[in-house]
A and B are shown apart, each in its own frame.
Chain A
Amino acid sequence: MLKYLKYAFFAGVLVALAPVATAETPTDTLVIAKNIDDIITLDPAEAYELTGIEVVTNMYDRIMRFEPTDINKLVPGVAESYAASDDGKTITFKIRKGMTFASGNPVTAADAAYSLQRVVKLDKTPAFLITQLGWSKDNVDQMVTAPDADTLKITITEDFSPSLVLSLMSSVVASVVDMQTVKAHEVDGDMGYAWLKSNSAGSGAYTLKAWKANDSVVLEANPSYRGGLPAMKRVVIKHVPEPAAQRLQIEKGDIDIARDLTGDQVAGIAGNKDIVVNTIPQATLYYVGLNLKFKPFQDVRVRQAMHYLVDYDGMVNSFLKGSMKVHQSFWPSGFWASLDENMYTFDPAKAKALLAEAGYPDGFAVELDAQNSSPGANIAQSIQSTMAQGGIKVTIIPAEQKTLLTKYRARQHQMLLVYWGPDYMDPHTNADSFARNPDNSDSPKSKPLAWRNSWDIPEITKMTDAAVRERDTAKREQMYKDLQKKVMEEGPFIIMFQDTKQVAERANVKNFVMGPSADVVYFNLTTK
C-alpha cells in the first residue's frame, strides 16, 4: 500500500513539475500585487482604509473629483457645474445629464442627495468629513436636498470657506450610490449597510465582482461609465503580504504591478528592462510627538533642541532612500498652501546650547514609543543614537501599531513616533489636528494631535479657526503658511518626513494613474 502511495505521489510531483507555470497575465486583465489586509469594508459611507478607499474610488463617481486625466485639478464629477450663494452657505450643483449607474438606473440629483444623507445617518468613521459642515441625522434631510432631478442643493451651518466645502465634496463620502439598488437591498432600515460592504452600486469605471478577505479583490469594467469603457476588462488585486514575493512575481511577469516593494528590492531590479519603477510623493507625514505632560518639553527651547538632534538627511540618504523625503511643516509638499522650507538640520552643538539655556546642560532621560517594525523601528534607533549626542538618553519602547495608538490617545507617552495622513485635500484637515486644541481637559470632544501632546494653544486655535473661514484664497493660503511656520518653530511635533511610494510596473503597462493619496489611484486609463 505504502509503495503505491509513493508512486502515486511521485507521479503527482511529475505532473506538477511539467511546465504549467504560465508567466503571462491575460491581456485584458490588470493584476496588481498589494498588501490588502487593511480592507474592512467597501461601502463608501464607511471605507476609510487606504486600499478600501482606492477600490471605492474606482467603483464610484463623486460629486466633485480629481479626474484621472488630471489629478491635480479639482473639477465637477457627477455634477457638471456648481454655484455658491453670496453668503457662501449654500452651494447648488447641476448634475450631468444622461449618465447611468452600472445597474442601468439613471444618475439623478436624488441619488446624490441620498448618498450624502446616508453617510450622515449611518454615522460611520468617515462621516465626520461632512458632519463638520453642521449636518446631523436630524437636519441633513433639510440641508441636503434635490429640488429637481438635475439639481443638488447643500446648505452648511458652519462658517467654512466654499473652497473647503468643494474639497469635501471630492472625498470618499461624496461617492454617489445608486439609490434604487441600495434600497432594494435594505434590511431593517439599514440603508443597505450590510449589503454594500461587499457589493457595489455605483457609476464608476468598475463594478465589484468579488472581495475575498486576505485573498483578492476582483473588479469588472463598467461599460456605461461616462469616461468610456476601460481597456482593462478586469482588475485583480492580489493579497501578497511579503514584498520579496511581490518582487519575484513582477520579475516573472505573473503580475503587472507590484505596490509594496522596499527600497533595496527596487535597487535590486534597477537593471531590469522589463520593469519600470515610478516614485510618487504621498501625503503621509512621519513625526515624533513630544508630550508636554513630561516637564522638560514644556520649555519651547527644549522642544527646539530636540529638533536639532535628528539626522534628517542621514536617514533619507541611507535606510529611507527612495521611501521618504525630508519635510518639516504639517502640510505635505506638492499640495496647495504647503510650506516647503525646512527649518532644522542635525546640529548637536546648537541643541546643547539651547538645552543649557533651558536649564538642562546635562540633558535628561526620556522614553520613546515607536512601532516595532520597519520603518518606525529604524527611525527610532537613529533618533536614539543622535539624541545621545545632545545628552538626551532615549529608551525605545517598541509596540505594535494599535497598541501605540491606544497609548497615544490616552496621552500616556513621553515621546512617540508615529505617522499621520490627511483626510482630504485641504490644509484645514491637518491644521485642525496639529494646530487646534479647543479643549485641553482630560476628556475632550475630540482628540486632535495637539491635545494628545497636551499643547494648550488658545491663540493658535483662533488662527486656525480664522483660516477655515477666510474666503479670499490668496489670504487663506498665507494664513496656512503662517500656521505651519508657527507650529514648526514652537510646536511639540518633530515632523521629519513625507513618504513616497515606489511602484514597480511591467514595461508594457501604460497609464496606471497614481496620485498622492488613495483618492487618486485610477485603473481605467491603464493599457498593456
Chain B
Amino acid sequence: MAGGTEMKGLAAGRPAFAVVRRFAAFLGSLLLTFLGLTAVTFGIGRFIPVDPVLAVVGDHATRAVYDKTYLAMGLDRPVPVQYLIYLRKLVSGDFGQSVMTSRPVLSDLMQFFPATFELATIATLIGVIIGVPAGVTAGALKGRWPDHLVRIVGLFGYSMPVFWLGLVGLFVFYGKLGWVSGPGRLDVAYDDIVTSRTGIILVDSLIEGEWAVFRNAIAHLILPAGILGYFSLAYIARMTRSFMIEQLSQEYVVAARVKGRSFWGAVWHHAFPNIMVALITVIGLSYASLLEGAVLTETVFAWPGLGLYITHSLFNADMNAVLGGTLMVGAVFIGVNLLCDLLYKIFDPRLRTQ
C-alpha cells in the first residue's frame, strides 16, 4: 500500500519523467509499426511470382547479364538475410535505388509525394467545406427535402466509379466547355518557369509571385481535386449526418431549446461542438487515404503522384520503390493521426488538461 502511494507521488512529482516515458512509448509503437510494415511488404514482394531481375534487365538479356544482376541485387541470399540488409541500409537513410526510375527511392518520393499532397489537400478542403455543412443540415432536417437531397448526392458520390467520373468530367469540363485545363499539372507553356522548392506548384508559384503559373496550376488541379473532393464530401456528409442525428436526440439539446435557444442555435452551438471529435477522426481518415495517392484518378489525369508510382513499381517488382512508398504511406498515416490528436485537444476541453 505504502509502495503504491510512493510510486504515485514519484510520477506526480516528476512530470518531466512522465513525458519522457510517454514519448518513449510512442517511439516504440512507431518503430513496431514500421517494422511490421516493412516485414509484410518485403515478404509479399519476395513471394509474388514475378522475377525482379527481369524488371531490370528485360526479357532479351543474356544469361551472363542476368546472373550478374541477380547477384548484384543480393537475391542469392536467404530472404531473412536480404531483409536484414535492407533494414540496415534503411537505418542509415538509404532507401535503395528504384529500378523503374534509376534514381534513389527517396528522391523519387520527394518528387511524387508533393503532387499527391497538393491534390489530396485541396480535395479534402472541398470535402470539409461542403460536406460538413451539408451533413449538419441533413441531420438537423432529417426526413425533409434537404436531407433527401444530401443523401442522394452522397449516394451518387459513393457509387460512381472514380475512373468513369474522371473521364466524363474531362469530357464535359475540358473537352466540351473548356472551363478547366486538361490532364497534367501545367500546360507546356508554363513548364520550367518556377523553380521547384516544395514541389507543390501552387506554393512554389506563389513564392515567386508567378500568377499566370498559379492560375494555370489551379485550372489543372480543380477538376481532379473536385472529383476526389466529391468522394470525400459524400463520405464526410454521410458521417456528419448520422453524428448529428445522434446528438440532436440527446436531452441537453432539448434543454437548450427549452431555455429559449433557436433551433439552428442549438444545432450549431450545442450539438455541433459535440460531434467535432468524431468528425475529426472521419476527416483524418479520409485525408490519409487520399494521401496514399489515388491510382485511377492519377492515371486519368496524368498526375505524377504517389499512387501511380507505387502501383507501377509493384507491377514491375521494383521492391525498393514499393517498400519506400509503403513506408511513406505509413508515415503519412501516423502524421495525420498525430495531427488529429492535436486537434482533439483543441476542440475537446476535457482532453486539454492531460
Contact = CB atoms under 8 A, between A and B. Distances in A.
Interface of A: 2, 5-6, 9, 12-13, 15-23, 25-26, 29, 31, 37, 40-41, 48-49, 123-125, 127-128, 131, 197-198, 210, 212-216, 218, 236, 238-242, 244-245, 248-249, 251-252, 254, 400-403, 405-407, 409, 423, 444-447
B274 interface: no
A514 B34 CA distance: 49
A21 B102 contact: no
Contacts of B183: 240, 242, 245, 248-249
A402 B65 contact: no
Interface in B168-190: 170-171, 174-175, 178-184, 187-189
Interface string B190-212: 01100000000000000000001
A20 B174 CA distance: 12
Contacts of A25: 188-189
A241 B60 contact: no
B155 interface: no
Contact of B181 (A2, A21, A128, A403): A21
Contacts of A218: 191-192
A240 B167 contact: no
B103 A402 contact: no
Given A248-B174, A407-B49, A402 B182 contact: no
B166 to A, nearest CB: 9
Contacts, number: 169
Contact of A49 (B58, B111, B125, B315): B58
B101 interface: yes
Interface stretch (B10-18, B84-92, B257-265, B296-304): B296-304
A125 to B, nearest CB: 5
B135 to A, nearest CB: 14
B191 A236 contact: yes
A241 B57 CA distance: 23
Interface residues of B, number: 63
B270 interface: no
B304 A215 contact: yes
B219 A20 contact: yes
Centre residue among A49, A213, A214, A405 by max chain B CB count within 10 A? A214
B144 interface: no
B144 to A, nearest CB: 23
Given A21-B179, A21-B182, A402-B315, 7 more contacts: A22-B216, A25-B189, A26-B188, A125-B58, A214-B304, A240-B183, A254-B182
Contacts of A12: 218
A1 to B, nearest CB: 11
Interface in B214-237: 215-216, 218-219, 221-222
Contact of B215 (A16, A31, A198, A210): A16
B244 interface: no
